[in-house]
Chains A and B, each alone.
Chain A
Amino acid sequence: MTPLLVVAFLLVAAGGTTVVLTREPSRQAVTLSVYGILLTLLFVLLQAPDVALSQVAVGSAVVPLMVLLAVRKVRGKR
């Protein structure tokens, strides 16, 4: 395993832990988005560009947007 991969794995582990430990849903959407980018980086380093492309679009754009919109609706804010 190259040092770069070790760093990427550690970053993903740290990112995942941060997402789990974030209690506030609207903040969690942001940490989830960052985690998505870290995961994308790992996939690129592991030479899986296909998976990285899905991950960056779904994991760091679509899902956090859905969470934010859901939070906004639930809170009844305009």
Chain B
Amino acid sequence: MTRSARWIVFWLGAGGVGVLIVLALLKMPSFGGLVHPYRELSVPAAIGRSSPNIVSSVNFDQRALDTLGEETILLGSVVGAAALLRPSKDEREQLDQDEGRVLEATKLLGYLLLPVTLIVGADVVTHGHLTPGGGFQGGVVLATAVHLLYVAGSYKMLRRVRPKSWYQVAEAVAAGAFVVLGLVGLLLTGAFLANIFPRGVLGDLFSSGTVFYLNVAVGAEVTSGVVVLLSGFLAQALSVREVR
């Protein structure tokens, strides 16, 4: 394709998308208005399923299959990135003795915030059906917490508390648990990912049934996935050397 033909195709595409965007925006309800058709449907549905966090209820109860798809995409991306980042034949892992210099303030802040971040992450995962957040958000917070060890200057300690193979197994097991919960629902009620556990009292920790368990499964998968992903990047940047 010549240069000018490429530009013609681009402007046709861009113009088409532009027209569609304008048409869509003209039909939208006004910003911040009082009309919320989606809210009117989703809030009673979620409250009826004893789940005060509407987003969580939609993600893990009303449309749990969509969430399974998203988790599978994450799993696939992590597996792909891990495969690309693994050391090649003529590369070996080699740790530096010298950890480099870290500001005392950074160290202090890192070690102080590590337990706080872990608790916040665990809280966000386990209360995903009650308060904003959930498995994905809490999982990323948990994974970031572990890496505060690296920020505080101890890559060696990070490697010790983070045996990569454990996290790889945990990621697969957690992703599998989501599917198993779905299959149990299919067996018991005839619907994949149906809510099978007792719904409980609105606002209790063990309420909204399966949502709680799916949140924990997603939390475990996302934590392990992000840890595996970052461990690949960290190893490549810090310790993988070419051996001649």
Of A1, A53, A58, A78, the most chain B CB neighbours within 10 A belong to A53
Chain A residues whose CB sits within 8 angstroms of the CB of B143 once the complex forms: 62
Interface size on B, residues (CB 8 A): 23
CB pair B55–A50 under 8 Å, yes or no, is: yes
Instruction: Evaluate whether A50 and B133 lie within 8 angstroms (CB atoms) in the complex, with A57-B141, A61-B144 already known.
Output: yes
CB pair B233–A53 under 8 Å, yes or no, is: no
Chain B residues whose CB sits within 8 angstroms of the CB of A65 once the complex forms: 147, 230, 233
Q: Is the interface of B mostly helix, strand, loop or mixed?
A: helix
Q: Check if A14 is an interface residue, CB within 8 A of chain B.
A: no
Chain A residues whose CB sits within 8 angstroms of the CB of B55 once the complex forms: 50
Please, what's the 1-or-0 string for B212-244, where 1 marks a CB less than 8 Å from any CB in chain A?
000000000000001001100110111000000
Instruction: Evaluate whether A57 and B237 lie within 8 angstroms (CB atoms) in the complex, with A50-B132, A50-B134, A50-B137 already known.
Output: no
CB pair B140–A62 under 8 Å, yes or no, is: yes
Closest beta carbon of chain A to B226's beta carbon, Å: 6
Closest beta carbon of chain A to B124's beta carbon, Å: 7
| Given A49-B133, A57-B144, A70-B237, 19 more pairs with CB closer than 8 A | A1-B31, A50-B137, A53-B132, A53-B137, A54-B136, A57-B137, A58-B140, A62-B143, A62-B226, A62-B230, A66-B230, A66-B233, A69-B230, A69-B233, A69-B234, A69-B236, A69-B237, A69-B238, A78-B96
Q: Chain B interface (Cβ within 8 Å of chain A)?
A: 31-32, 55, 96, 124, 132-134, 136-137, 140-141, 143-144, 147, 226, 229-230, 233-234, 236-238
